[in-house]
Amino acid sequence: MPGPAIVLAIETSNPSAWELSVPVRPGVAVVEMARPGTHATPAIATAPSRVLAVEEIDPSRPHDDDLVPAIHRAVRAAGLTPAGLNRIAVSSGPGGFTAVRMAVTAAKTIADVVGIDLVLVPSATSAAAAAVGLGRTPRAVHEPFLVAIASKDQTAWAAEFDEHGTPAGQPRLISAADLGGCSCRVLIADRFLPDSVREAARSGGWRVIVPVFDAVACAAASAWFGATDPLAAVPLYPRPPEAVRKWDEVQARKALGEPPG
């Protein structure tokens, strides 16, 4: 039977979602995990067997260039070199445009240079793994639940999970009207959840929980996904990024001969 895998995990996808009530911060972790396919029940992820190192990153300064130094610190603290890693898992969005882009770029570069597997973990699934106790915080839910992140206007990107944190169904953009069609009554959402959705949850008797974005949980969640070609890896954006939307708008005006403003 193959030995454990050493996984480098990056979870810096939603720095602005962190709150003082959350005891762990986003960052980088090096953990020891069972290799994919060695679980008795591979559909259910398990917590890492050993956490070798954790390097948190200040979420109040998400654009500081501390990600790569934090990766170096974590690998060194684990007593390893990059060649000692077997897999890299990265929370790939949705989340902050710059934060997700930097994390995915760093992860795919390391995977390509070192020659290890790259696993893209949707950020909602990373938060789900934390919610069921697969990270550094206690289990917060014992029943099916919904994770809603990347809120904008009156919609949010939502994904459903069973009581084990296993993805159930396809993620999608939802509005307040969509909550009525959900069978679960637990919602994991940050403070940016649209007021209309929050009010619909309150009226429907939902329990709302603050999400935890934890690199250790991201490593656990990577067990649900296969490896991705580093050259093909891209962040997950539920809508066109604002910078792209504005660029397209300017180009469309230019094509019509209109002033860019």
In this prediction, residue 260 carries a pLDDT of 67
Confidence tier at 167 by pLDDT (50, 70, 90): very high
Confidence tier at 37 by pLDDT (50, 70, 90): low
What sign does the CA torsion over 198, 204, 205, 209 have?
Answer: negative
- Identity of the amino acid at 252: A
In this prediction, residue 173 carries a pLDDT of 95
How high does pLDDT run on average in the chain? 91
DSSP character string of 58-85: -TTSTTSS-HHHHHHHHHHHTT--GGG-
CATH code 3.30.420.40 region(s) in the chain: 5-125+212-250
pLDDT tens sequence across 15-35: 999 999 999 999 999 999 987
pLDDT at 41 > cutoff 70: no
Domain 5-125+212-250 fold = Nucleotidyltransferase; domain 5 (3.30.420)
| Distance between CA atoms of residues 197 and 31, nearest Å | 36
CATH code 3.30.420.200 region(s) in the chain: 141-209
Query: Of 170 and 40, which is predicted with more confidence?
Result: 170
Domain 141-209 falls under CATH 3.40.50.970: no
In this prediction, residue 209 carries a pLDDT of 97
- Identity of the amino acid at 32: E
Of 105, 69, 127, 114, give the one whose Cα is nearest residue 87.
114
Average pLDDT over residues 162-170: 93
CA-based end-to-end distance of the chain: 63
